[in-house]
A and B are shown apart, each in its own frame.
Chain A
Amino acid sequence: MEPVLSVKNLSVQFPTRRGTLTAVDNISFDIAPGEVLGVVGESGAGKSMTGSAIIGLIEPPGRISSGEILLKGERIDNLSTDNLRRYRGKRIGMVFQDPLTSLNPLYTIAEQLVETIRTHMPLSQADARKRAIKLLDDVGIPAADRRIDDYPHQFSGGMRQRVVIALALCADPDLVIADEPTTALDVSVQAQIIDVMKNMCAEYGAAIMLITHDMGVIAETADRVAVMYAGRIAEIGPVRDVILDAKHPYTAGLMGSIPTLATNSDRLTQIPGSMPRLSAIPQGCAFNPRCPHVFDRCRVERPDPIASGTRRVACWLHAPEEQAA
């Protein structure tokens, strides 16, 4: 089946006074229709930047320096500003981290929904409003037909995030990019929001790219997961495989640092050191200074993701020639 989204060799660069910084470095991945792809990684690993690149919202002077982004086989990374705008919100919906600041405080929910719907669909004011009420009802806002005329400040954080999800889905997109959709919410609400998002996207037929640093959310929600480190994909594959049997030492380190109730250990394993700044990425594999299994080749040569069973891993440990040796 043709993937909804296909990212090929994408790089995003920022020219600065001290040289060009590469925030996203030559990454490739696909998202199948209806699939949920989780993207995890530390802050600054390039997760959000990848999301911004796909929807064409990288703040200048940042720019896509190479690679292709295809939405259902159609290139969207080189469109004109106006054509770019037409697929945002219509073919790709976006959910941001903070629902408290994502909605314009001066307009009612109805105004914001109807405005978005009518930008992308040839509906009358009344029909757009009906669709808006249906959307709000679907995301689980009680008495949607009355609440629709309220202002954002009259809703709680979780309810506002539901509204944001309704806004992201209001023109039947093929893909929803959710950038840390639950990070700003109460823990008790997080699971609900993830549920709403997953069910809604299934109902409206949208694939999800779920950006988060919360492994728990990924484990529950995603079909596949991409682990990002210093602007590159370290490992990508089915969620179960990656979590139960991490192949990249970085992924293994991440999994080891999650507390579980089953193993009654006093100390969690941690990865020594911290992710390098974009201006000081080491030669070879970006993870080599922190890697417990580092060997000579890692310090010189940069590994590209290598197919290994159901997944791809960017690590020399899994290169066929190294394993043979």
Chain B
Amino acid sequence: MTAFVIRRLLQSIIVMLAVSLVAFVVFRYVGDPIESMVGQDMRLADREAMRDRLGLNDPFYVQFATFVGNAVQGNFGISYRLQEPVTRLIMERLPATIELAVASALIALIFGVFFGVYTALKPKSPITATVMTLSLAGVSLPTFLIGIGLIYIFAVELGWLPSFGRGTTVMVGGWRTGLLTESGLRSLILPAITLSLFQLTLIMRLVRAEMLEVLRADYIRFARARGLTDRAINFGHALKNTLVPVITITGLQLGSVIAFAIVTETVFQWPGVGSLFIQSVQVVDVPVMAAYLMFIAFVFVVINLIVDILYYTVDPRLRVGTGKR
């Protein structure tokens, strides 16, 4: 187990190095940093002096090492647009994105597993037919369309929920949260649903397919022959056996939810990291873009690591070396 975790950690570090190389190339070679920083009336000699001072004339690997060194300490430079440290900008907006992502991941997981199990156990019920048809819409409609549709129905026509922003937020130990106020929670509903819908249908269809597969397995038949209750069979024996692929997909999807919150955040003007990224792209705010790239890669690497460790807790067959055959 420990050896496995260490091995996976090393792999993760290699992945992060590769991504930071890409981020660095973007950071350093998309446009001239000096050009971005100084006015037109600066003399060439001064520019050269500045280059030297900032280390831009150093060999490639030295610059890369400096970049990685700074990145490890959470230093990604200063935003061109806002003249503030990039790290602080991202940290300020991170709570908004994480709250949105976690809320929608929870919605997707809870309803996805529930409907997946239901549709697998009752394949002939009319509810199953309805859910399966609706789920097609969930997979195929683009996020922005769903978002705009929800805004139109619930914010414009019915006027029940706000159409943009986070509502009132409060600071709790450096974390700006919208979960503690009514307007914050109300603002969260529409974007969270929008963002969750794709993952929800994906998880639902996956759970359904896996359940149908597992319910045919011999050990389920044997569990029935042992006289266990339906509840114990369906949830204790069948559902647990569907979990390995479900954890994989859910984990990867949580990464995607954070990464692709960009669209939802834009539609709902959600003040998160995604909308920060979109604004930075518009003005070629390279340090922010590079940092965002690193940040998303980091999220994926961490989630993958957690998913791999979760496999171990779910499936005893993977705990090699601990058992004798």
* A contacts, CB < 8 Å to B: 55, 57, 85-90, 93-94, 96, 98, 101-108, 115-116, 119-120, 150-151, 153-154, 156, 164, 167-168, 171
B232 near A115: Cβ-Cβ < 8 Å: yes
A88 to B240, CA, bound (A): 23
Contacts of A106 in B (CB 8 A): 240-241, 314-316
A94-B222 contact in complex given A105-B316, A105-B317, A151-B316, C-beta closer than 8 Å: yes
A164 to B225, CA, bound (A): 11
Contacts of A115 in B (CB 8 A): 228, 232, 236
B227 near A153: Cβ-Cβ < 8 Å: no
Contacts of A105 in B (CB 8 A): 219, 241, 315-317
Is B226 interfacial (CB-CB < 8 Å)? yes
Contacts of B224 in A (CB 8 A): 57, 85, 88
Interface residues of B in 191-237 (CB under 8 A from A): 217-219, 221-230, 232, 236-237
Between A and B, 21 residue pairs with Cβ closer than 8 Å are A55-B225, A85-B224, A87-B227, A89-B225, A89-B226, A89-B227, A90-B227, A96-B221, A98-B218, A104-B237, A104-B241, A105-B316, A106-B240, A115-B232, A119-B227, A119-B232, A150-B323, A151-B316, A154-B324, A167-B226, A171-B227
Interface of B (DSSP majority class): helix
Contacts of A96 in B (CB 8 A): 218, 221-222, 225
A164 to B226, CA, bound (A): 10
Interface size on B, residues (CB 8 A): 25
A119-B228 contact in complex given A106-B240, A106-B314, C-beta closer than 8 Å: yes
A53 to B229, CA, bound (A): 19
A86 near B227: Cβ-Cβ < 8 Å: yes
A116 near B226: Cβ-Cβ < 8 Å: yes
A108 to B319, CA, bound (A): 13
The distance from the CB of B311 to the nearest CB of chain A, in whole angstroms, is 12
Contacts of A153 in B (CB 8 A): 316-317, 323, 325
**Which 3 pairs of residues, A with B, have the shortest CB-CB distance?**
A89-B227, A88-B227, A94-B225
A154 to B217, CA, bound (A): 20
A101 near B323: Cβ-Cβ < 8 Å: no
Contacts of A103 in B (CB 8 A): 219, 222
Interface residues of B in 297-325 (CB under 8 A from A): 314-317, 323-325
Contacts of A93 in B (CB 8 A): 225-226
Contacts of B237 in A (CB 8 A): 104, 107
Chain A residue nearest to B226 (CB atoms) is: A89
Additional A-B contact list (12), CB under 8 Å, known A85-B228, A151-B317: A55-B225, A57-B225, A89-B227, A89-B228, A101-B217, A103-B219, A105-B219, A119-B228, A151-B323, A164-B222, A167-B222, A168-B226
A154 to B323, CA, bound (A): 6
Contacts of A156 in B (CB 8 A): 325
A94 to B219, CA, bound (A): 12
A116 near B228: Cβ-Cβ < 8 Å: yes
The distance from the CB of A211 to the nearest CB of chain B, in whole angstroms, is 13
A120 near B219: Cβ-Cβ < 8 Å: no
Interface centre among B218, B222, B241, B324 (most CB of A within 10 A): B222
B227 near A116: Cβ-Cβ < 8 Å: yes
Contacts of B226 in A (CB 8 A): 88-89, 93-94, 116, 119, 167-168
The distance from the CB of A157 to the nearest CB of chain B, in whole angstroms, is 11
Count of A-B contacts judged by CB separation below 8 Å: 83
Contacts of B221 in A (CB 8 A): 57, 96
Chain A residue nearest to B214 (CB atoms) is: A104
A154 to B324, CA, bound (A): 6
A153 to B317, CA, bound (A): 7
Chain B residue nearest to A102 (CB atoms) is: B222
A164 to B223, CA, bound (A): 11
A154-B218 contact in complex given A88-B227, A89-B225, A167-B226, C-beta closer than 8 Å: no
Contacts of B236 in A (CB 8 A): 115
A101-B317 contact in complex given A88-B227, A116-B226, A119-B226, C-beta closer than 8 Å: no
A116 to B317, CA, bound (A): 22
A312 to B84, CA, bound (A): 96
A171 to B224, CA, bound (A): 15
Chain A residue nearest to B219 (CB atoms) is: A104
Contacts of B232 in A (CB 8 A): 115, 119
The distance from the CB of A175 to the nearest CB of chain B, in whole angstroms, is 12
Contacts of B217 in A (CB 8 A): 101
Contacts of A86 in B (CB 8 A): 227
The distance from the CB of B132 to the nearest CB of chain A, in whole angstroms, is 21
The distance from the CB of B228 to the nearest CB of chain A, in whole angstroms, is 6
Contacts of A104 in B (CB 8 A): 219, 223, 237, 241
A102 near B219: Cβ-Cβ < 8 Å: yes
Contacts of A89 in B (CB 8 A): 225-228
Contacts of A164 in B (CB 8 A): 222
B229 near A119: Cβ-Cβ < 8 Å: yes
A156 to B325, CA, bound (A): 7
Contacts of B240 in A (CB 8 A): 106
Chain A residue nearest to B228 (CB atoms) is: A119
A107 to B226, CA, bound (A): 15
Chain B residue nearest to A97 (CB atoms) is: B218
Chain B residue nearest to A111 (CB atoms) is: B236
The distance from the CB of A40 to the nearest CB of chain B, in whole angstroms, is 21
The distance from the CB of A56 to the nearest CB of chain B, in whole angstroms, is 9
A151 to B219, CA, bound (A): 14
Chain A residue nearest to B244 (CB atoms) is: A106
The distance from the CB of B134 to the nearest CB of chain A, in whole angstroms, is 27
Chain A residue nearest to B243 (CB atoms) is: A106
B323 near A85: Cβ-Cβ < 8 Å: no
Contacts of B222 in A (CB 8 A): 94, 96, 102-103, 164, 167
